[in-house]
Amino acid sequence: MFWPSGAFLGLKSLHLGHVCGASLTTRYILEVLSANPELETLTLKKNAIQYNPSDMELPQVVLPCLRNLDYMPDHGFAIDQTLRHITLLPNSIKNLSITDSEDVSEQANNRYEDFLTTVLISLAPTLGRLHERCGGSYLHFYPATQQNKAQFSWDSQLEDLRLRIYIPEISPSIALQWVGGVLCLAKPGITMTVHEESLSGDVVRSMQSMQCVEQLLVYNFPISALARAQQLLDALGGSSAASPDSPISAPFPSLHTSKLAGWEMGLDPIINMVHKRFSEASGLDPANRVPDLSLDISLWDWVWTRCYGPDSIWTLAVVQGIRAMPGVKGVRLGQVSDAFGAGILAVVWDEELMAPVWG
């Protein structure tokens, strides 16, 4: 049995965790929140909240003083609709964390998409504003493995501002479409990390149309992934799955850095991509032209420890040729372990030593 909602007055902070019961309804939660307009911190974690169809008519509850929201739904029970009825002031929120537990039943997996697209979309103004106030965001997409589930995370942080969204078991294309919709009017600033196994056609098309992506890091490109690698390079170069009658728009319009880690395809596909990207972009309206591109191409560490000949190590002349191409701001070659930091600055094939040298 729960206390009457009117018993909770004058609250600055409210934490409900792992609460269940027939009386715990969306209406009850909203009545408590409505009675506490000065609430500054709200934590709702793994609560089995009952939701009735008639609750769709419930009025919005405005929390003008809320600074911190920490939320974790219980998908094993039902899709919690509480957030759909809460109005936040985008400039007031300083910390927003929405994380999903990885310990969920198989029956709950099909609820992630609905939760993302029907519930969290209501927070779009707040998410977009936090993204801008933090100066950008990081998106991570990792495929499922034998040890881990598929993961999607969105992180932003600047001093005392923090945005954290984590959802497992969600299609990358669905997540990308959702983020693109949330940030469609926001300033650029997305750094995206994707594993090549996640690069389906839908994912690449969703990435290509996003206005906010400034840096793209893609991991692992073995020879066996040639088709997916070419699909990504085609998208970077400007090929689109859109209708031929669609207006011409720049691909990855804000992208200025592309990192390809574990690349085993040689440089010719990259040269073709750069040529296509900037030769086609030159025909666009100046307002739609893409920024110059910095390329960071990393090989696996074992490449440097084996005796490879000049066919396997790129020559300085080829690298300089890429650097001199219109639209190329810089070229960095290194190894995967250095993909996020300083490392090998250049690699050349030394004819006298018959070995690669770098420095």
The residue assigned the tokens 């997540």 is: 175
- pLDDT value of residue 193: 93
Q: What digits encode the pLDDT tens for the residues 43-93?
A: 998 887 777 777 778 889 999 999 999 998 775 555 667 888 899 999 999
Average pLDDT for residues 200-209, to the nearest whole number? 86
Task: Look at the alpha carbons of 135, 136, 137, 138 in this order and tell me if their dihedral is positive or negative.
Answer: negative
How far is residue 158's CA from residue 167's CA, in Å, rounded to a whole number? 22
Between residues 337 and 184, the one the model is more confident about: 184
The whole-model pTM stands at 0.82
Among 322, 318, 344, 342, smallest CA distance to 331 is for 322
The residue assigned the tokens 């099909």 is: 110
